[in-house]
Structure 1
Amino acid sequence: MAQVVHRGRWTLEDRADGFYRELPVEVPDGAGALTVRLAFDRSAGVLDLGCFGPDGFRGWSGGARDSFTITPGWATPGYLPGPLEGGIWHVCLGLHRVPAGGLEYEVVAEAGIGAPPAPPNAPPPPTVPARPPRRDLPAEPGMRWLAGDLHSHTVHSDGALTVDELASLAAAGGLDFVAVTDHNTVSHHPALAAAGRRAGVLLLPGQEVTRDTGHANAFGDIGWIDFRRPAADWLTETERRGGLLSVNHPLANDCAWRHPMPRRPRFAEIWHWTWQDRRWGGPLAWWLAWDPDVIPLGGSDFHSPAQGRPLGAPTTWVQCPGDDVLAGISAGRIAISSGRDAPLVLRVGDEIVVHGGDGTYLVNPDGGRRVVFGDRRSFRANPGPYRLESSDNSVIALVA
């Protein structure tokens, strides 16, 4: 067993000089497993944890874990299994929060020679519940509206559910798709297709590219995006590989969007779960100030049922051909509602169609208002976004 220990104290000066720090670990040829343990006072600060091998990225768990194991056949969620190439590996720490007095830490890395340890027991897939009936919604020829959530997490980052458990929860809520966007990793991608088939839900591969100055969702089976690079590179590389990049929760606490972007992404998560009082015009004002041509998306940022952020709240609706949700998003055929069964405003051809909006205001792209009478009403559409508002000016639904 080869062991390497790093100990020290991170200071405010260290945090100012560079967010990411890499600690070298020599892994001998023939190693069957690499286990890393991180210790620090979690009541005093926050350190993120990840790993890079000689051939590149091998995993990330941020502040969600204090240890991980990588073997040829299995790895801790968030990390990539595969051969352990001999040479210098690096444990990557992110100095997310360092107190004024500094933060002591210890990293112990052990590389075992020979047969790897047995993997931990995985829970069996949950029983798939009955799905609620789909809503009967008008769509353009060859299209249909699918209901989903574009922001969710599993045990592969800081979520509480396995991929199968997340898919089962989506089916119970009547969702057609969920983008699984674990932080700075793609270790969940191999599990998505099978879990989605079992639950009858389309699980979209994604990753939440995460820095202390803002997060973005990269959608598509495009491989890992290097979060250490500038955000402009996230956009360029995601698009080069055929994916879509969306700015996440631009108005938030310490993860609000503060990245300079010479060229702006086409998408932004305008409706995030934190928009609880929708009389507050901040998200709409940010959208108009950032770029009114940006296509709005919605996401619950689901982590755990215990947090009180329901999966699918808000619900993003995508009008798409068959199951090609990413094609529908790319084309901007997007509507957002507070939930799967909440009032809706849809763009269908040259019409705006309101469902369940009796007694609401339909707000036009120019800010003009009209009162909606009846459960289903259609109006001639103009270019630009529409929204439904209640009598107290709360936003109820959006359509791009």
Structure 2
Amino acid sequence: MTSQTLLYLRQPWLPGDRAEQQIRSIAFDVPRSAAALEVELAYAAGPGAVLDLGLEGPSGYVGWSGGARSRLIVSADWATPGYLPQPVEPGTWQVLVGLHRVPPAGVIMELTVRTVAAGEVERHRAAEPEDPPSVPRPDRRPRRDLPSGDGYQWLAGDFHSHTVHSDGVLSVGGLAALAASRGLDFLAVTDHNTTSHHAHLPEAGRRHGIVLVPGQEVTRDVGHANVLGDVGLVDFRSPPETWAQQAESRGGVLSINHPLAADCAWLLPVDHPPVAEVWHSSWAQLPTWGAPLAWWLLTPDTVPIGGSDVHQPGHDGLPGSPTTWVLAEGDDVVGAVRAGRTAVSASVDGPLVIRDGDEIVALDAEGLLLTGPGRPRRRVLGDRVRVPAWSGPCWLEDDSRIVHALCG
């Protein structure tokens, strides 16, 4: 089959267009003869211009790559990561264009949709990064001597990461191998506005000896939130006030992401959020910044978790920086978060503070200060110190007021 152009559109976008409606749908019709589609979006990119790309078919949402890709392929056997493989159904499809940033002078978009042959699909498939070979991983448990009850164990992990299924650079297997090599027991893979990576998680987790938690980062310009659990897609175009209910009604958990983070900050109402990414890897850039702790203390019943938000190793946080600890029944990581059994530390082997019944336990925290809102600072003397618990947050800080660990 030769290529057939189904749509060509040259469209200028101005700031007023973005203000009126950020996500635009552009329709095109697909004939019965099509076996694979290619969508290409071109524009003069720059600091003031970012256009996002997504796709919807006659039967519903296909996927999203945001500003990470300018081209996508969809076919029955394979699709560009971020999109769900599926037969190319005849009928009306929609290219989703996100006007993420539009400079004052505007930006001119060129959008092309064409049918392509199987050879072009295979060429794109071969260009994607391959998974690394699996390396036998010894059983490291118990990693640290942490108190736990019958059937429960403390697991170390990370609740925020990205692969090639959105704007990361590693395959699912590559990310799993990296996280396992850093001593993590679990990793939530939370690609933006897609669940296309979910199908790859079980096998990659088995191969590399790590629990990979299905996740998705529901992403809008007014805030990002991770949905944790295999709950199907929570559409980013739905009203943000419904995201938590959608997740919870399907057995998942919603967490507000990096509530204080440049143009990715949470700009939506906060009505007592149940879970929040209190500790984001960006905190390491200014470790004395007290705002993340202060934000958490405004809603002290919020369950705290942490996330590296890893995209490209060497350019942002690595898996486990910070590390979130969950007291899980078996490998039920999402259930532990829902129950509020969490703690966060700067690293997998750094100082840690957890709750054990009616006591707070500080581990490997010699010389640090244990405190909480309105509490005196108590110097930790020893590698394993127990004190009577109080209700509400607690954390370990040093004499420079840098937080090393926290728990709710």
**Fold shared by both chains (TM-score > 0.5):** yes
Task: Measure, in 2, the Cα distance between the counterparts of 1:226 and 1:233.
Answer: 10
The match for 1:314 is 322
Deviation at 1:146, TM superposition (A): 0.2
Aligned-pair distance for 1:368?
2.1
Structure 2 residue 309 is the aligned partner of structure 1 residue 301: yes
8 Å contact from structure 1 (residues 30, 114) kept in 2: no
**What is the alpha-carbon root mean square deviation over aligned residues?**
1.7
Picking from 225, 239, 246, the partner of 1:230 is 239
Matched, 1:78 2:85: no
Q: Which residue of 1 aligns with 2:106?
A: 102
SS at match of 1:185: coil
Alignment equivalent of 2:94, drawn from 87, 90, 97: 90
> What is aligned with 1:389?
397
Alignment map for 1:124-143 (pairs within 5 Å): 124-128=131-135, 130=137, 133=140, 134-143=143-152
Counterpart for residue 371 of structure 2: 363
Question: Aligned match of 1:35 in 33, 38, 41?
Answer: 38
Alignment of structure 1 residues 128-207 onto 2, 5 Å? 128=135, 130=137, 133=140, 134-207=143-216
Are 2:137 and 2:209, in contact at CA under 8 Å, matched by a contact in 1? no
CA distance in 2, matches of 1:363, 1:100: 49
TM-superposed deviation, 1:367: 2.3
Question: Quick one: distance in 2 between partners of 1:124 and 1:186?
Answer: 19
Q: Residue type matched to 1:301 in 2?
A: D
Q: Find the aligned partners of 2:328 and 2:247 in 1 and give their Cα distance.
A: 21
Q: Counterpart of 1:204 in structure 2: which amino acid? A: V
Q: How far did residue 21 of structure 1 move? A: 0.6
Counterpart AA for 1:234: W
C-alpha distance in 1, partners of 2:243/2:107?
30
Hey, what's the Cα distance between the residues in 2 that align with 1:284 and 1:316?
Answer: 16
Q: SS state of the match for residue 306, structure 1? A: coil
Letter in structure 2 aligned against 1:87? G
| 8 Å contact from structure 1 (residues 207, 217) kept in 2 | yes
- Cα distance in 1 for partners of 2:139, 2:345 equals 17
**1:176-218: CA deviation from partner (whole Å, max 9, x where unpaired):** 0000000000000000000000000000000000011110000
Contact 1:131-1:174 at 8 Å conserved across structures: no
The 8 Å contact of residues 24 and 88 in structure 1, kept in 2 or not, is answered as yes
1:275 and 2:280 equivalent? no
* Equivalence map 1:114-125=2 (5 Å): 117-118=121-122, 120-121=125-126, 123-125=130-132
Structure 1 spans left out of the alignment, 5+ residues: none
Q: Shift in Å at residue 115 of structure 1?
A: 9.1
Aligned to 1:58: 62
Indicate the larger mover: 66-75 or 381-390: 381-390
Give the stretch that moved more between structures: 78-87 or 180-189: 78-87
Where does residue 249 of structure 1 map in the other structure?
A: 258
How far residue 352 of structure 1 moved from its aligned partner, in angstroms, is: 0.9
- Secondary structure in 2 matching 1:166: helix
Q: CA–CA distance in 2 between the matches of 1:78 and 1:158? A: 9
Normalised to the residue count of structure 2, the TM-score between the two structures is 0.94
Equivalent of 1:373 in 369, 375, 381: 381
Q: Is the 8 A contact 1:346 1:354 kept in 2?
A: yes
User: Which residue pairs with 2:24 in the alignment?
Assistant: 21
1:32·1:116 contact (CA, 8 Å) conserved in 2?
Answer: no
Looking at structure 2, the residues matched to 45 and 196 of structure 1 have their Cα atoms a distance apart, in angstroms, of 37
Instruction: State percent identity of aligned pairs.
Output: 51
Distance 2:253 2:198 in 1: 16
Provide the residue aligned with 1:9 in structure 2.
12
3-state SS of paired residue (2:188): strand
Report the CA distance between 1:260 and its aligned residue: 2.7
Write the distance in 1 (CA, Å) between the matches of 2:149 and 2:388: 15
- Is the Cα–Cα contact under 8 Å of residues 134 and 207 in structure 2 kept in the other structure? no
* SS, match of residue 302 in structure 1: coil
Aligned length in residues: 398
Which of 220, 223, 244 is 2:229 aligned to? 220
Single out whichever of 118-127 and 325-334 deviates more from structure 2: 118-127
Which whole-Å CA distance do the structure 2 matches of 1:186 and 1:347 have between them? 34
Distance 1:367 1:129, change over 3 A: farther
Kindly state the Cα deviation for residue 238 of structure 1 after the two structures are TM-superposed. Answer: 1.1
Shift of 1:20: 0.5
| Contact 1:364/1:387 (8 A) holds in 2 | yes
Q: Does 1:344 align with 2:352?
A: yes
CA apart distance, 1:30: 3.6
Q: Is the 8 A contact 2:363 2:385 kept in 1?
A: yes
Does the CA-based 8 Å contact 2:78-2:121 persist in structure 1? Answer: no
Residue of structure 2 equivalent to 1:284: 293
